[in-house]
Chains A and B, each alone.
Chain A
Amino acid sequence: MSELTQTVDVCITLNGHSIKATIPARENLADFIRHRIGLMGTNVGCEQGICGACTIRLNGDSVRSCLTLAAQANGHTVETIEGLTDSGEISQLQEAFHRNNAAQCGYCTPAMLITATELLNSKTEISRDKIREYLSGNLCRCTGYHAIIDAVEEVAEAQNNGR
């Protein structure tokens, strides 16, 4: 059948830029972002959804870019750590990570920032337990997590005081 091809035409809004490309159907969103576009802040770890290092934003929700085909992002909005950094949306959290030594090797950090931002933006009450639960899908092999939780908690408290 003519409609079935191994390549797909996509148009993806990536960090505010509209990107059109013809890509192999099997290309996942992580590889699209890293190799096609050259944004290396999205890291690839396990490629099976366990480690969380490839977490990005798709239509405003955190998702695993290794478990999302780029073809499935066609017509949708993708934000990566680069876009969120440039927009300044996560600067407070980035500073808190810096202050608390919450980044060591840095491999998990972009995904941690994206996941934690989703929690901070949710209108739920934030406790240390809640932070642990929310970040349970993001593995870190360096910090032992305490510093990361400290950093997120610090921003949550600052947000609360600001209200």
Chain B
Amino acid sequence: MKPRSFSFTTAHSVEHVIGLLQEHGDEAKIIAGGQSLVPTLNMRLSAPQLLIDISALDELRGISLDGDRLRIGALTRHVELQSNKLIAQHLPLIASAINHVAHVAIRNRGTIGGNLSLADPASELPACSLALGAELSIVGNKGKRIVKAGDYFKDLYETDLQANEILVAISFPLATTNTVHGFREFVRRRGDFASCGLVMNGERQDGKLTSLAPVFFAISNTPVLASKCAAKLLNKTLNDDLIEEALLELDRELPVIGDIHTSTEMKLHLAKHYLREILGEINV
């Protein structure tokens, strides 16, 4: 199928984008890599009247150290995250997760800003943002604001990003020598949308976890931080009994929604299995 007709304009500044969004409201869509938007255009599942191409906005590019955080411009492509030395050094969780984001040709065009603006519940990067305590820089007609990842993901494809706003950058705190992390996901084919996944980030001192953020994805309408489960594991010596006790919390706190391929029971089973595996891995 072919998309419905639309107008196309190349934005020359963030202000230009905001002006167009204000003028055209719901009928305008921002396009960057287009890897999620164009399929819905092709299938006529959406039919905006105007596409605003932001791919020429160099101010939205780049990966750079900003004090004790790493700032990633919204137009940074997945392939750039994969090969970047700062990411490998300071954000090991992202470095391991990014290899699982879609297929190579998609990673060559898809952007982190597009990914987080859409916030697919099965996507790896929203979960990483939540686990790492990312901050999202959003610009609108009232200027710039910073939103913590914990306040950003609202519901299925629903974020704190408003219709006349644009995500310009994401910043992450840097990993320390105490940082521990893990990544697991279950997919039917490498690079496809996951049926259940877990990203975990934490700090360990003297053999005990002093902070822990296990975030499950592809199990519900948003990525889910299992904070009650994590609380059980803090400041204690990890052993099998403690881990099993913490896993019981997942029954209570994960709002699992099954899908056509993977039942609720299987998703919960995988969630527990992956947490057990990662805790075993970091406890060695």
Interface positions of A (Cβ within 8 A of B): 1, 3-6, 8, 24-26, 28, 31, 47-49, 52, 55, 58, 61-64, 66-69, 71-72, 115, 118, 132-134, 136-138
Q: Which of B5, B41, B103, B190 contacts A24, CB < 8 Å?
A: B5
Interface positions of B (Cβ within 8 A of A): 1-9, 23, 31, 34-35, 38-39, 41-43, 50-51, 53, 55, 79, 102-106, 108-109, 189-191
B18 to chain A, nearest CB (A): 15
**Beta-carbon contact of A71 and B53 below 8 Å:** yes
Q: Which of A5, A26, A47, A136 contacts B189, CB < 8 Å?
A: A136
B48 to chain A, nearest CB (A): 11
**Beta-carbon contact of B39 and A6 below 8 Å:** no
Q: Which of A4, A6, A47, A62 contacts B108, CB < 8 Å?
A: A62
B contact residues around A31 at 8 Å (CB): 2
Bound: A3/B8 CA distance, A: 9
Q: Which of B8, B35, B108 contacts A8, CB < 8 Å?
A: B8
B contact residues around A115 at 8 Å (CB): 104-105
Q: Which of B4, B23, B191 contacts A137, CB < 8 Å?
A: B191
**Beta-carbon contact of B102 and A137 below 8 Å:** yes
B19 to chain A, nearest CB (A): 10
Known: A68-B38, A72-B53, A132-B190. A26 touches B108 (CB 8 A): no
Known: A4-B50, A25-B51, A72-B34. A64 touches B5 (CB 8 A): no
A-B contact pairs, 18 of them (CB 8 A): A4-B50, A8-B8, A26-B4, A31-B2, A47-B1, A55-B105, A62-B104, A63-B108, A64-B105, A66-B38, A67-B35, A67-B106, A68-B38, A68-B109, A134-B104, A136-B103, A137-B102, A137-B105
Kindly name the residue among B1, B3, B105, B191 whose own CB sees the greatest number of chain A CB atoms within 10 A. Answer: B105
**What are the 7 closest A-B residue pairs judged by CB atoms, nearest first?**
A137-B103, A25-B8, A48-B39, A136-B190, A61-B108, A4-B7, A67-B38
Closest residue of A by beta carbon distance from B41: A26
Known: A47-B1, A72-B55. A6 touches B7 (CB 8 A): yes
